[in-house]
Each structure stands twice: as C-alpha cells, then as structure tokens.
Amino acid sequence: MDDNHKFALAHMIDTLQIGERFTKWPLHITLLPWFHCGDNLVETIRRIETIIVNTQPFGVSVGEDAMFGPEHDVPVMLLSKSEELTKLHARIYHQLVISGCRLESEEYSRANLKPHITVRGDRNIANGTRVIIDSIDLVENLQDGKMGRKVVRRFNFSAPS
C-alpha cells in the first residue's frame, strides 16, 4: 500500500455494505478525515480494533444548522458536544500517529474537531434527533476520488453490558 491511498473513518447513518462504492457521501459523521498510512494499513486496522473492541455504543444529538467549506456553501447539522465522541476521536487519532499515519489536513481534527452531519440534498436529520454511534467504517478514496470511494472495513462497537 503506497501513500497514494487515503482513508477516512466515519459512522454511516445511511448504512452501506462492505465493498460498496459511492461517489457522493451518504449521511455520515466523520471521526477522522482523510489520512495516509503508507505501508502501515494492517497495523492501523489492528490499532483501531483495539480501541473499538472496548467501546460501547453512545448517542449524539443533532444541533443547529451551519455552513462549512472554504466558501461557506456546504450545509451541515452540527452535533451537540459529546465527551464520548471527542475522546473516541482523540484515541483513534493517537493510534494513527503511533502507527505512522498522517492526516491530509489537521484543520478539522483534535482541538478543531467540529462534529457534524453534512446535508445531502433533501436528506437531513431534524434538530434534537439522537443518533446512536455503534460502528465506524474505514472508507478508501479511490484514485483521489476519480473512481469514487469504497467502504473497506466496518468496526462494530462492543455490545452494551
């Protein structure tokens, strides 16, 4: 695996099948934006698994609308502050760094994390709705998006005890 491959981690609200390709993102919550792993993808997957195996599903609430993007033309629904989501993001980020991965941009991670759901046409979720995060998908960007994206792996959280 070379550095031309890039991946993201997201909870899919509109569930896709493993191996399914898509061009436009379904409704999702990004846990980590695009990152490169070089030859360390297997090690990265192992490290993510060690986090997820001890993570129980948790809920996040959909908050107010906002506009993202360089031109402020991307409608999103912000998520209310969630300690669980912030901690999960930090733990995964830390393990990616240890395994030699690097984010394409640090702009939307760690202290700059702004959890949200991007609106897709008429597809959105009402303010106040609680979304349960119980899995994370590893998504590969195929040939820098020219061939779309593909769900490579799903990490299911542990069942509540």
Would you list the DSSP string of the chain?
--TT-EEEEEEESS---TT-EESS--SEEEEEEEEE-TT-HHHHHHHHHHHHTT---EEEEEEEEEEETTTT-EEEEEEPP-HHHHHHHHHHHHHHHHTT-EES-STTSGGG---EEE-BTTB---TT-EEEE-EEEEEEEGGGGTT-EEEEEEEEPPPP-
Residue 101 has pLDDT above 80, yes or no: yes
d(CA 49, CA 136): 10
| CA 84 to chain CA mean position, Å | 14
Q: Rounded mean pLDDT of 39-61? A: 91
Question: What pLDDT is attached to residue 1?
Answer: 43
Residue 66 has pLDDT above 70, yes or no: yes
For the record, the structure tokens of 47 come out as: 């490290």
pTM score:
0.89
| 109 residue type, one letter | S
Q: Which residues contact 70 (CB under 8 A, 6 or more apart)?
A: none
Residue 110 has pLDDT above 80, yes or no: no
Question: What pLDDT is attached to residue 133?
Answer: 95
Q: Which residues contact 94 (CB under 8 A, 6 or more apart)?
A: none
Residue 91 has pLDDT above 80, yes or no: yes
**Mean pLDDT taken over the chain:** 87
- Which of 144, 153, 152, 154 lies closest to 23, judged by CA? 144
Domains and CATH numbers, the chain: 6-152 (3.90.1140.10)
d(CA 57, CA 35): 24
Residue 2 has pLDDT above 60, yes or no: no
Residue 41 has pLDDT above 50, yes or no: yes
Q: Is the pLDDT higher at 70 or at 154?
A: 154
